[in-house]
Amino acid sequence: MTETLHSPPSAPLATEADPAPDGSPRQLKRSIGVVGGTLLTLSCVTPASTLFVVVPDLFSSLGTATAFTIAIGALLCVGVAFCYSELGTLIPSAGGEYAMVSTMAGRLAGWLVFVLSLLVVMIVPPVIAMGTADYLAPVVHLDPSFAGAGVMLLATLAGLLDLRANAWITGIFLVLEVVAAGVVAVLGFAHAERGAGSLVDLTVASGSAAGSGSGGGTEAVTAMLIVSGLAIALFVTQGFSTAVYLSEEMENPRRNVARTVLLTLGISAVVLLVPVAAITMGAPDLAALTSGDIGGMVAAWSSSGVGTFISLCVALAIINAGIVMVIQNSRVLFASARDKAWPAPVNTVLSRLGRFGSPWVATLLVGLPGAFLCFVDLDTLYGVTGVSVTGMYLLVAVAALLARRGTHGAAPAWRMPLWPGVPVVLVAVLAYVLSEQEGEYLLWTGGIVAVATLYWAFYLRPRKGSRWLVSVPGE
């Protein structure tokens, strides 16, 4: 078990004008409850922007099996959410996964989770942001990379504001996002070309049929394709973990973290799966479904005005997701500096808090590189993210297996049902899913993890008394 520092409940909020006392880790201000946390977390799941930006790639490879694969991913995420809820209430820290895993499974495991989570938090926002151009097309034509970079810069500016203000901003955008998803679901079901049985009739248009737009030529979706697609399916529903990153800023985290995690997962699964089912049933033919042109199908089902409205709602949803992801990701970087993951001058800079109580340096260091990542190949970003999310969940499940040892077993916390069965099954399934990912993306991710392990071995491990000391703020 790692050295974990517990801050006293009375420790004051530190800012640049009011520095923390020597030896007392800086803390974020507790200012949100279940409603605010759920709004922010749902915005990070961003089901509508995921539906329009990421799901089309699943349609192209999985066809009618897309809804089935996402449903399996959501079911797996229930077990993952149980792990996050129990660990998040035991370890309410802005460090999220790495704080939980460090405390339960040791410093090296926590460091590797931090690296994987940092990959995810740096890559996901630009992946989503680059979809903005497609949905602003009815109004203005923009290059996807430049549009994505603009969204990242806007999200960075918003991330510098007070968290409570951002909860209301993202809540308003979230309403529009859910409306867009609902309209797509209604249109899809109203123009259904096939019955509900198509959701388990796992076929995809062959390459020539999909490319030509004709309805002929189909192929069966194999079990291996579904397993491979599960990494992306986990990615599209993974935003519920944001509740854990926000736990340090939640009032009464022992109760509210679990409620926010589980409530968010349930809502986001419905908001995502219902439109996916509707699109599957309403696509004019299998080739149209496999092409993944959701905007074209919406326009065909309705009028150009409705299509424009949906497109603008999705564009706002993407901006919304960018704001929340920058908020989440800056907290991870802030927490790593507070926990002394870097040389002293770097830790000092990254742990600074601004006038609104936000970690402003960490926010800039998350948002600005995200703008540059908008110019990287999208398939590579998808692949590395899928591998990173799966590996991160695997280590969280291992930590959940160890969460009831010693004093942690008696600590007040939300406890998952069916323990230890849930984390045991998750470890087995996630390890298998990870083994079925493409070698290129495994090599990219593995190379980064290897470099991080060397940093651990030569810098962090020899300094275990002064570096990588994970802190758990008091309530």
Instruction: Quick: pLDDT tens for 96-107.
Output: 788 889 989 988
Of 164-168, 233-237, 277-281, the poorest mean pLDDT is in: 164-168
Mean pLDDT of 24-32: 58
pLDDT 10s digits, 116-150: 988 887 888 888 888 888 878 878 888 889 998 99
CA distance between the termini of the chain:
22
Look at the block and give the residue holding tokens 């007040």. Answer: 412
Residue 138, CA atoms < 13 Å, CB-side half-sphere: 17
pLDDT band (50, 70, 90) for residue 109: very high
Question: Residue 207: which residues within 8 A CB-CB, separation 6 or more?
Answer: none
Query: Can you give the pLDDT at residue 427?
Result: 94
The answer to whether 14 and 29 have CB atoms below 8 angstroms apart is: no
Query: Can you give the pLDDT at residue 1?
Result: 40
DSSP three-state, residue 4: strand
Q: Return d(Cα 210, Cα 287) in angstroms, integer.
A: 4
**pLDDT score of 198 more than 60:** yes
Task: Report residue 80 CA to chain centroid gap.
Answer: 13
- Please tell me which residue, 167 or 190, carries the higher pLDDT value: 190
Domains of the chain, each with CATH number or no CATH: 30-467 (1.20.1740.10)
Q: Long-range pairs for 293-299 at CB < 8 Å and ≥24 separation?
A: 293/56, 294/51, 294/52, 294/55, 294/56, 294/184, 295/52, 295/134, 295/135, 297/188, 298/183, 298/184, 298/187
Query: Can you give the pLDDT at residue 411?
Result: 82
Nearest of 285, 271, 270 to residue 192 by alpha carbon? 285
Q: Return d(Cα 263, Cα 240) in angstroms, integer.
A: 9
Q: Return d(Cα 218, Cα 203) in angstroms, integer.
A: 6
Query: Can you give the pLDDT at residue 89?
Result: 84
Take residue 455 and report the two structure tokens written for it.
């940093």
Mean pLDDT of 55-74: 89
Query: Can you give the pLDDT at residue 21?
Result: 47
**pLDDT score of 322 more than 90:** no
Query: Can you give the pLDDT at residue 33?
Result: 73
Q: Return d(Cα 120, Cα 126) in angstroms, integer.
A: 11
H-only helix segments in 29-65: 34-45, 47-53, 55-62
pLDDT 10s digits, 39-49: 777 766 667 77
Take residue 74 and report the two structure tokens written for it.
């959501």
| Mean of pLDDT over the chain | 81
pLDDT 10s digits, 390-446: 999 999 999 999 989 888 888 878 899 999 999 999 999 999 999 888 889 999 999
DSSP three-state, residue 353: coil
The answer to whether 9 and 254 have CB atoms below 8 angstroms apart is: no
Query: Can you give the pLDDT at residue 472?
Result: 65
Q: Return d(Cα 372, Cα 370) in angstroms, integer.
A: 5
Mean pLDDT of 236-241: 75
Going by their DSSP bridges, the two strands 218-220 and 470-472 should be labelled as unpaired
Take residue 284 and report the two structure tokens written for it.
């004019």
Q: What is the pTM of this model?
A: 0.76
Query: Can you give the pLDDT at residue 275?
Result: 93
pLDDT band (50, 70, 90) for residue 15: very low
Query: Can you give the pLDDT at residue 170?
Result: 66
The answer to whether 392 and 116 have CB atoms below 8 angstroms apart is: yes
Strand-pairing partners, residue 204, are 219
**pLDDT score of 281 more than 70:** yes
Question: Residue 25: which residues within 8 A CB-CB, separation 6 or more?
Answer: 5, 7, 11, 338, 339, 471, 473
Query: Can you give the pLDDT at residue 6?
Result: 44
Of 15-19, 214-218, 238-242, the poorest mean pLDDT is in: 15-19
Q: What percentage of the chain has pLDDT greater than the value 90?
A: 22
**pLDDT score of 304 more than 60:** yes
Query: Can you give the pLDDT at residue 254?
Result: 73
pLDDT band (50, 70, 90) for residue 110: very high
